[in-house]
Amino acid sequence: MIPLPPLAPPGVLTDEAPACDVACFPTPAQYVDLVAAFKADGFEMCVDVCGVDYLEHFDRALPEGVTPTRFEVVANLLSLSKKRRVRVRVQAGSESPRVDSLFHLYPGTEAPERETFDMFGILFDGHPDLTRILMPEDWEGHPLRKDYGVGHIPIQFKEAPGPR
Amino acid sequence: MSDNSRVAERPDRLTGETSEGAQELVQRLDTSRDELGREVGAVLRLDGVTLDPSEVDYERHDDETMIINMGPAHPSTHGVLRLMLELDGEFVLRTKVVIGYLHTGMEKTGETLSYVQGATNVTRMDYLSPVINELSYSLTVERLLGVDVPARATWIRMLMSELNRVSSHLVWMATNGMDLGSTSMMIYGLRERELILAFFEKTAGLRLNLNYVRPGGVAADLPDGWEDDIEVICNTIEERTYEYDQLLTGQPIFRNRLIGVGAITAEEALALCLTGPLLRSTGVPWDLRRSMPYLAYDQVDFDVIVGTYGDNFDRYAIRLNEIRESIRIIRQCVEKMPAGDYRSQDPKVTPPPRARIGESMEALIHHFKLFTEGFHVPAGEVYSAVESPRGEIGCYMVADGGPKPYRIHVRAPSFTNLQAMPLLMRGASVSDAITMISTVDPVLGEVDR
């Protein structure tokens, strides 16, 4: 079995991941506690936070006991001292995705969490400045959601009358 | 009239609960004390710090300070970076980085491209180190596929990434020199980079967005006589780095502009998740090439350059010396370059040679399948990271068994490194702010993706 840090909340499920030592599947309630436990265990850096919209894949491979939801938040932790990575995948919810922010553990997650909010509309409780970061502030919708089309710009000259 | 199909169901609730409207720096009187404290960097002192009220200049009136925009079209912001600065006279009190002007939805585009086409997409993110972007993408796809790459391809990839690292650092030397008023450095840096770009053109056919490293190997073998070209490139650039020493490193004005300016500590750098030269300048010896070796970096001899003070001069010195270390690696690559295939011979991943298409039915089928549909990648999710000139560039990919990635996310080093900006800028003068932007070395194509 994969080792979890000593302070981890009980009942966190883990799984072997192909290119990462550990993938953990906490519930949203366990999420921050688990990351805090990893931090206490020497994971100094949270290199990345990103979201995934599994709209078409509720049947994806997850360990026994994890209820798949539409949105998933993936935090990549890195330990410089142990030279190890850990991926924390939390099921963020389907209708109103929402997890706690890691900002108070790792201030460097501020921009990645804002990006995840901007792209997926996942709310991060406790984030100091949850505003759009890449899209214009009056943009409607969250572009990386799977039900948001790639879109196209109507080309005017296609329909417009020619010179002759 | 707006096209409704492009707009996802808008959760009105979001606008109620977040301040989606204000990306910008707000007036001091409208800013909460906690947020002002955040600007001071109190959160970075970590573990149960309470904000010391005396550190926050809460009482200051707005008419004493001024909020100005630097960018997004400012020549010294290295692209379309916009900084909102609150100034007290010439000194910066608060900074807010506003990005997104170059956002073209490349992660969304990546979901519509097959795995072979995907390399052309990621190569355009960090346009100064395209090979390394392709490398992180290709390594991720190969991990999902479980394809073995031939030894020669691995060494060619190393050779090309190090050349790319040199060219990226040369552009940095050039623009940094320009920002500090040394226009000759601008010309010299771009002149030397031209040697490398010419070699890229000879090898891959293109100068900038190469699409050279692909899942399964590289696009083409090295050209005839490449050893001689590399020899000339290495000798010339190595010799010229000593000229840069004379031009810049020992130059009193240059030193005074850099030494002691914009210092950060290792704790702050770790808390802000900085990587690359920014982290190494604070004395943390973290280089993925050494710490978590990929390709064949465990078989070459090189030093990880580490700074002491975390100031601008350390970051300059690290990049200059990394050029020399990269040249060391390139020379070893030339020495140890194995013979063999430059791409995997797995017909499911690599298209057959052109000549075989006319002779073999299987070759024709594979060729047709690869270029119409692309290969299928088994379901799974993978994160893999490599060291780019700016730090850790990672690729998180979710595959669902189809010919296109279900989700592709690029962990861009400049995007995260930009978070250091408010901390670096605090208390500095506007002229030093230019230096700070330069030594963080953001590439906006990668920041905004």
Mean pLDDT, range A101-127, rounded to an integer: 87
Say if CB A79 and CB A42 are below 8 A apart. Answer: yes
List CB contacts (< 8 A) between B38 and chain A.
128
Is the same domain home to B241 and B370? yes
Is the same domain home to B199 and B320? yes
Mean pLDDT, range A74-99, rounded to an integer: 88
Q: Which of A16, A46, A48 to mutate to test the interface with B (most CBs of B within 10 A)?
A: A48
Q: For residue B38, give the chain A residue with the closest CA.
A: A128
What local confidence, expressed as pLDDT, does residue A154 receive?
Answer: 63
Angle in degrees, 0-180, between the axes of helices B226-244 and B151-179, rounded to the nearest 10:
30
3-state secondary structure of B145: helix
C-alpha R_g of chain B: 24
| Token couple for B403 | 């010919």
Is the same domain home to B157 and B60? no
Task: Give the confidence band of B1 by pLDDT, cuts at 50, 70, 90.
Answer: very low
List CB contacts (< 8 A) between A47 and chain B.
273, 275, 385, 392, 394, 411, 416
More confident: B55 or A125: A125
Say if CB A141 and CB A72 are below 8 A apart. Answer: no
Which range, of B40-54, B162-176, B217-231, averages the lowest pLDDT? B40-54
Which range, of B23-32, B181-190, B359-368, averages the lowest pLDDT? B23-32
Using the predicted structure, report yes or no on whether residue B3 has a pLDDT greater than 80.
Answer: no
Query: B308: burial class by Cβ within 10 Å (0-12, 13-18, 19+)?
Result: exposed
Partner residue opposite B23 with nearest CB, options A137, A144, A154? A137
Beta partners for A15?
Answer: A23
Q: Do A80 and B270 touch (CB under 8 A)?
A: yes
Q: Do A132 and B20 touch (CB under 8 A)?
A: yes
Q: Report the CATH number that the domain containing residue A49 is assigned in CATH.
A: 3.30.460.80
Residue A142 lies in a domain: no
B418 at interface of A, judged by CB pairs closer than 8 A: yes
Q: Do A107 and B103 touch (CB under 8 A)?
A: no
Mean pLDDT, range B256-271, rounded to an integer: 86
Using the predicted structure, report yes or no on whether residue B5 has a pLDDT greater than 60.
Answer: no
Say if CB A31 and CB A2 are below 8 A apart. Answer: no
Highest-confidence range of A62-71, B30-39, B238-247, by mean pLDDT? Answer: B238-247
Using the predicted structure, report yes or no on whether residue B11 has a pLDDT greater than 80.
Answer: no
Residue A103 lies in a domain: yes
Beta partners for A49?
Answer: A75
**pLDDT, tens digit, 9 for 90 and up, residues B210-262:** 889 988 888 888 999 899 999 999 999 999 999 988 888 888 888 888 888 88
Say if CB B89 and CB B97 are below 8 A apart. Answer: no
Task: Give the burial string for B310-330 (b: 16+ CB within 10 Å, else e).
Answer: bbbbbbbbbbbbbbbbbbbbb
Beta partners for B408?
Answer: B397
Q: Which of A44, A106, A134, A152 to mutate to test the interface with B (most CBs of B within 10 A)?
A: A134
The length of chain B, given as a count of residues: 449
B190: distance to nearest CA of chain A, Å?
A: 30
Residue A75 lies in a domain: yes
- The residue type at B23: Q
Q: How many CB atoms lie within 10 A of CB B138?
A: 28
Is the same domain home to B400 and B271? yes
Using the predicted structure, report yes or no on whether residue A56 has a pLDDT greater than 80.
Answer: yes
What local confidence, expressed as pLDDT, does residue B33 receive?
Answer: 67
Output the DSSP codes for B85-141: EEEETTEEEEEEEE--TT---HHHHHTTS-HHHHHHHHTTTSTT-HHHHHHHHHHHH
The domain containing residue A36 runs over which residues? 13-125
B289: distance to nearest CA of chain A, Å?
A: 12
More confident: B9 or B333: B333
Task: Give the confidence band of A73 by pLDDT, cuts at 50, 70, 90.
Answer: very high
Task: Give the burial string for B100-117 (b: 16+ CB within 10 Å, else e).
Answer: bbbbebbbbbbbebbbbb
Is the same domain home to B84 and B114? no
Using the predicted structure, report yes or no on whether residue B66 has a pLDDT greater than 90.
Answer: no
Q: Which of B95, B407, B423, B447 to mutate to test the interface with A (most CBs of A within 10 A)?
A: B407
Is the same domain home to B201 and B274? yes
Query: What's the distance, CA B306 to chain centroid?
Result: 19
Interatomic CA distance for residues B69 and B344, integer angstroms: 51
Peptide bond just before B353 cis, omega within 30 deg: no
- The residue type at B107: E
Q: Report the CATH number that the domain containing residue B412 is assigned in CATH.
A: 1.10.645.10
Residue B261 per-residue DSSP state = S
Is the same domain home to B76 and B50? yes
Among candidate residues B39, B73, B98, the one where a domain is terminated: B98
Among candidate residues B31, B64, B98, the one where a domain is terminated: B98
Is the same domain home to B406 and B427? yes
What local confidence, expressed as pLDDT, does residue B69 receive?
Answer: 84
Residue B271's nearest CA partner among B8, B2, B25, B44 is B44
What local confidence, expressed as pLDDT, does residue B321 receive?
Answer: 92
Interatomic CA distance for residues B249 and B325, integer angstroms: 17
Residue A120 lies in a domain: yes
List CB contacts (< 8 A) between B18 and chain A.
117, 123, 130-131
**Helices marked H in B180-304 — which ranges?**
183-204, 226-244, 252-258, 266-271, 277-280, 288-291
**pLDDT, tens digit, 9 for 90 and up, residues B400-422:** 888 899 999 999 999 999 888 88
Q: Which of A54, A137, A147 to mutate to test the interface with B (most CBs of B within 10 A)?
A: A137
A-B interface: how many C-beta pairs under 8 angstroms? 155
Residue A37 lies in a domain: yes
A91 at interface of B, judged by CB pairs closer than 8 A: no
List CB contacts (< 8 A) between B100 and chain A.
132-136
Among candidate residues B98, B125, B155, the one where a domain is terminated: B98
Interatomic CA distance for residues B170 and B99, integer angstroms: 25
Q: Do A108 and B272 touch (CB under 8 A)?
A: yes
Chain B contacts in chain A segment 47-76 (CB below 8 A)? 47-48, 50, 52-53, 56-57, 60-61, 74, 76
Using the predicted structure, report yes or no on whether residue B100 has a pLDDT greater than 90.
Answer: no
pTM metric for this prediction: 0.87
Using the predicted structure, report yes or no on whether residue B87 has a pLDDT greater than 50.
Answer: yes
What local confidence, expressed as pLDDT, does residue B158 receive?
Answer: 92
Beta partners for B385?
Answer: B394
Partner residue opposite A134 with nearest CB, options B99, B384, B394? B99
Is the same domain home to B145 and B94? no
Residue A65 lies in a domain: yes
Instruction: Please count the CA atoms within 13 angstroms of the CA of B155 that sit on its side-chain side.
Output: 20
Residue A109 lies in a domain: yes
Is the same domain home to B431 and B340? yes
B30: distance to nearest CA of chain A, Å?
A: 14
Residue A132 lies in a domain: no
The domain containing residue B272 runs over which residues? 106-448
What local confidence, expressed as pLDDT, does residue B8 receive?
Answer: 38
Percent of chain B with pLDDT over 70: 88
What local confidence, expressed as pLDDT, does residue B16 receive?
Answer: 39
What local confidence, expressed as pLDDT, does residue B62 receive?
Answer: 61
Interatomic CA distance for residues B208 and B193, integer angstroms: 11
Using the predicted structure, report yes or no on whether residue B42 has a pLDDT greater than 90.
Answer: no
3-state secondary structure of B311: coil
A85 at interface of B, judged by CB pairs closer than 8 A: yes
Q: For residue A59, give the chain B residue with the closest CA.
A: B400
| Token couple for B49 | 């710090």
Is the same domain home to B336 and B196? yes
Q: Which of B273, B282, B410, B423 to mutate to test the interface with A (most CBs of A within 10 A)?
A: B273
More confident: B5 or A50: A50
A10: distance to nearest CA of chain B, Å?
A: 23
B339 at interface of A, judged by CB pairs closer than 8 A: no
Mean pLDDT, range B330-348, rounded to an integer: 87
Domain total of chain B: 2
What local confidence, expressed as pLDDT, does residue B137 receive?
Answer: 92
Mean pLDDT, range B378-392, rounded to an integer: 89
A134 at interface of B, judged by CB pairs closer than 8 A: yes
Mean pLDDT, range B110-116, rounded to an integer: 89
Mean pLDDT, range B366-393, rounded to an integer: 87
Q: How high does pLDDT run on average in chain B?
A: 83
Which range, of A1-15, B31-45, B324-338, averages the lowest pLDDT? B31-45
Q: Do A76 and B383 touch (CB under 8 A)?
A: yes
Q: What is the largest CA-CA distance in chain A?
A: 78
The 3-class SS string of chain A reads CCCCCCCCCCCCEEEEECCEEEEEECCHHHHHHHHHHHHHCCCCEEEEEEEEECCCCCCCCCCCCCCCCCEEEEEEEEECCCCEEEEEEEEEECCCCEEECCCCCCHHHHHHHHHHHHHHCCEEECCCCCCCCCCCCCCCCCCCCCCCCCCCCCCHHHHCCCCC
The length of chain A, given as a count of residues: 164
Interatomic CA distance for residues A72 and A97, integer angstroms: 9
Domain total of chain A: 1
More confident: B78 or B15: B78
List CB contacts (< 8 A) between A52 and chain B.
381, 398, 406-407, 409
Is the same domain home to B241 and B181? yes
Which range, of A132-146, B225-239, B322-336, averages the lowest pLDDT? A132-146
